[in-house]
């Protein structure tokens, strides 16, 4: 990787607005996290609902690239934990 990225449990984490990508694009799978809703807590805007999608990086059709997905009423840390488990399982198979 030429640029500097935030890392979470050994994988790069890139955020653009309400979307995050987790994992190396050169690996067979990455995780796409979309923040769907926010809540206000002590003056901070926190994620309250997310969609987590495991994507096949070798599939040219973006619709077919979706391997599995889940929508949860949870915060970003819980979404990242889901993403990490999915990515570890997918890459170790």
| Res 5 pLDDT > 50 | yes
Query: Residue 12: pLDDT above 90?
Result: yes
Q: Is the pTM of this model over 0.75?
A: yes
Distance CA 37, CA 25 (A): 26
Whether the pLDDT of residue 1 is over 50: the answer is: no
Give the residue from 6, 31, 29, 35 showing the smallest Cα distance to 21.
31
Give residue-wise pLDDT tens across range 19-65. Answer: 999 999 999 999 999 999 999 999 999 999 999 999 999 999 988 99
Give 4's pLDDT tier (boundaries 50, 70, 90).
confident
């Amino acid at each position: 990787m030429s640029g500097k990225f935030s890392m979470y449990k050994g994988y790069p984490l890139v955020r653009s607005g309400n979307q995050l990508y987790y994992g190396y694009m050169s690996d067979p799978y990455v995780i796409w996290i979309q923040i769907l809703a926010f809540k206000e807590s002590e003056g901070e805007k926190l994620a309250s609902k997310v969609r987590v999608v495991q994507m096949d990086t070798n599939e040219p059709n973006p619709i077919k690239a979706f391997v599995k997905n889940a929508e949860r009423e949870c915060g970003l840390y819980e979404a990242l934990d889901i993403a990490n488990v999915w990515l570890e399982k997918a890459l170790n198979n």
